Amino acid sequence: MLRGLYTAASGMIAQQRRHDTVTNNISNIHTPGYKQNNAVTRSFPEMLLSMTGVENAKHTSIGRWTSGVFAEESLSIHLQGDLTQTNQSSDFALISNIEVEGLAFDASGKAIGPDGEVTFQPQAFFTVQDPAGEIRYTRGGKFTVTGDGFLMTSDGSNVLGTNGAPIQLPAGVGLDSLVLTEDQRFTDANGTDIGVQLMISRIENPNNLVRQGNGNFRFAADDGEVRPTVAGERIEVRQGYVERSNVDPAQASVDLMSAVRAYEANQKVIQFYDQSLQKAVNEVGRI
């Protein structure tokens, strides 16, 4: 009898996780470079039910029974977000549309090869170094310049150049007087290269990234496939723009209502079990 209680309880926990994920997406709709997060659920291993205890009856299979569901993990959707023009020289937006020979990626950013193998579209990221000295990757391009000329993200991480060191602008030079070229180099008003170039990293499979907070990602292990981007990879950085989050407000609202209703449905089941068990306790008390 309690199997249904446990199944409903696991459903409530899974829907709570889904609800939290969707509300986090909604709260970050206006966060530059934010990537939508989706909660992935799966059922517990199925069990094969058989009829037993019947004298002189042969073994009979009844069917399969699933004992519940659980929230397995959360996956980020690394699709390109729309751009918003800010006209701020410290704002930068990445446009990443990397192609892989022989593959055509769909709207979800994946392609299925002739052998059925699924390949996810590589994505480009700004490369930063957090205050602890760890390498991180981000699409949030709202940068600031410190008094010492260091280019930093909003959370205090250093933006790295192609030399692997934090970018530091020459003394007395601000972003207002600099222009970013197609190969992510900074030049002055006269077109003179000042020796600073943004490091844009190509992540072969963005699903290997782990959300770190403040729009930053890291690799779960050291086996992540990452390398600097090269010419011809259809990657562009626009100055004076920011990339909006790729959260779909309409779909997020639908997912939120769906999670709430599924939670309530499982809650009703648990209330029914609670009332039934209470009646049983009362009946036992009368005997």
Check whether 37 has a pLDDT greater than 60: yes
Mean pLDDT value of segment 18-28: 93
Check whether 44 has a pLDDT greater than 80: no
Between CA 74 and CA 170 the distance in angstroms is 42
For the chain, the 3-state helix, strand and coil shares in percent, each to the nearest 5, are: 25, 35, 40
pLDDT band at residue 9, thresholds of 50, 70 and 90?
confident
Summarize pLDDT for 214-256 with one digit per residue, the tens. Answer: 889 998 766 667 888 877 788 999 999 999 999 999 999 999 9
- Which of the listed ranges 59-63, 115-119, 194-198, 272-276 does the model predict with the highest average pLDDT? 194-198
Check whether 258 has a pLDDT greater than 90: yes
Determine the pLDDT at residue 128.
Answer: 96
Check whether 14 has a pLDDT greater than 70: yes
Mean pLDDT value of segment 256-260: 94
Summarize pLDDT for 112-131 with one digit per residue, the tens. Answer: 888 888 888 999 999 999 99
User: Is residue 196 within 8 Å of residue 161, measured between CB atoms?
Assistant: yes
Between CA 52 and CA 42 the distance in angstroms is 29
Determine the pLDDT at residue 10.
Answer: 86
Determine the pLDDT at residue 138.
Answer: 95
Using a cut of 0.85, tell me whether the model's pTM lies above it.
Answer: no
Summarize pLDDT for 52-66 with one digit per residue, the tens. Answer: 665 665 666 666 666
Burial (CB < 10 A; 0-12, 13-18, 19+), residue 118, is exposed
Summarize pLDDT for 199-209 with one digit per residue, the tens. Answer: 999 998 888 89
